[in-house]
Amino acid sequence: MDQQPSSQQLAAESPAETPQPPAHPPTDSYSPAPQSRGGRRALAICGVVIVVVASSLGAGAFGAWLAQQKSSPLTNQKDGNSVVSNGEVDVSQVVNRVSPSVVSITTQTTGSSRYGRRQVQSAGTGIIISANGYVMTNKHVVGKAQRLQITKSDGTQYSHVKLVGADPLNDVAFLKIEGAKDLVPAQLGDSGTTRVGQQVIAIGNSLGRYQNTVTSGVISGKGRPVQAASDNNKVESLIDLLQTDAAINPGNSGGPLLNVAGQVIGINTAVVSEAQSVGFAIPINATKGLVRSVLETGKVQKGYVGVYFTDITPDIRVAQRLPVSNGALISRDRASSDSDEDDETTSGSRRSHAAVEPGSPADKAGLREGDIITKVNDKKVGEQGGFGSLISEFRPGETVSLTVLRQGKEQKVSLTLSEYKQSADAAQ
């Protein structure tokens, strides 16, 4: 697992205003991808992470691209069929395959300024995940939009678009084009098998003006954490992101990061505004449980474990004198959690909480503070994804096998996920 850099502050980029400072001064300045027009500050947060959440699809199998692209994106193929000529990837062929599955999203929101109320328009990107009109994007692309419009790569426009729901803890949202049929869904790959240095391709609505802009690069790092300052200066985080040097510009948010087989391995979500070619994408495996719930039920249903945890880094291993270099340490002093509750109360005092939420699936399974989770089913935590991403491959009601290290002894724990219940202030 790559050593994680120090946390850095995310801030939104705006053409007419300087973003409000975050609660803690940034070391570097990051920008989420959507482009906002009209002088209003774009939504500054790229997502929320306090959970040990679950919602994604299992790593399973992935079928052949051509056989599955018109039925379901959840196919089973580990490496995909690369388009290679003379030892080089033919990016144009990959793009031709995938472009019909990439859409531009335009949102309209009523905003306020010193001159009164006005309409603010923003733009982002989305990924078609079903033939009947379901689209996945970033939550910050949608924001609190009152009107949504989707445009396909061939220029076809859809105005009857509704928000199905969003993951309150990660920067993911789902839309539905009403009455749509015969769309071409993208094929979802396996982000757990990505390697630093492998070639990737990004497609997006760059700057909200240049639809289906294509850039390419490599995976620069894995397991990266970033932080964002919301409109009220509350600092929230995303963890376990893919880092890439493929150019990701404002407007690219919600678009696909692809492998050379044309499979989606990430959702482009943020860029470093004061650096050269440093962008971030949400690993696609961390969305697959949500995708399955949307495709099967028409609702966003998220799995819930009920522990506070910290993904182990080399520094944490040394500081805590842990016996392993990879895994998730269940601890009340954590970097990540499975609850949407803030660590601080409204009075500013530190909220006390148990490492394992009473009555939660984790509690019922017998997990304890100090346990180190090293595997989710057969996937190694830290090598094939952080604990949050791995557990997010499953839906509520599904049972997973956890390998747990307790007082130097390894044991298996069976845990059935419940449905995550978001609080009113977490719903956006």
State the catalytic residues: 140, 171, 253
Tokens of 407: 């007082």
In the numeric block, the tokens 């993904």 are attached to: 311
Which sign does the torsion angle of CA 321, 324, 325, 330 carry?
Answer: negative
Q: Which of 402, 428, 416, 206 is nearest to 300 (CA)?
A: 428
Report the 10 Å Cβ neighbour count for 175: 28
Report the 10 Å Cβ neighbour count for 45: 26
Tokens of 278: 């440093």
Do 246 and 201 contact (CB within 8 A), yes or no?
yes
Q: Cα(170)–Cα(178) distance, rounded to whole angstroms?
A: 25
Write the DSSP assignment of 176-235 as a string of letters: EETT--S--PPPB--GGG--TT-EEEEEEEETTTEEEEEEEEEEEEEEEEEEEE-TT--E
Report the 10 Å Cβ neighbour count for 154: 7
| Cross-strand partners of 333 | none
**Greatest CA separation for the chain:** 66
Do 400 and 340 contact (CB within 8 A), yes or no?
no
SS3 of residue 291 by DSSP? helix
| Residue 259: φ, ψ to 5° | -85, 180
Do 19 and 36 contact (CB within 8 A), yes or no?
no
Q: Cα(329)–Cα(335) distance, rounded to whole angstroms?
A: 10
| Cross-strand partners of 241 | 224
Which sign does the torsion angle of CA 418, 387, 278, 153 carry?
Answer: negative
Do 244 and 200 contact (CB within 8 A), yes or no?
yes
Measured CA to CA in angstroms, residue 40 lies from 17, 35, 87, 110, 425 at distances of 7, 10, 47, 11, 23
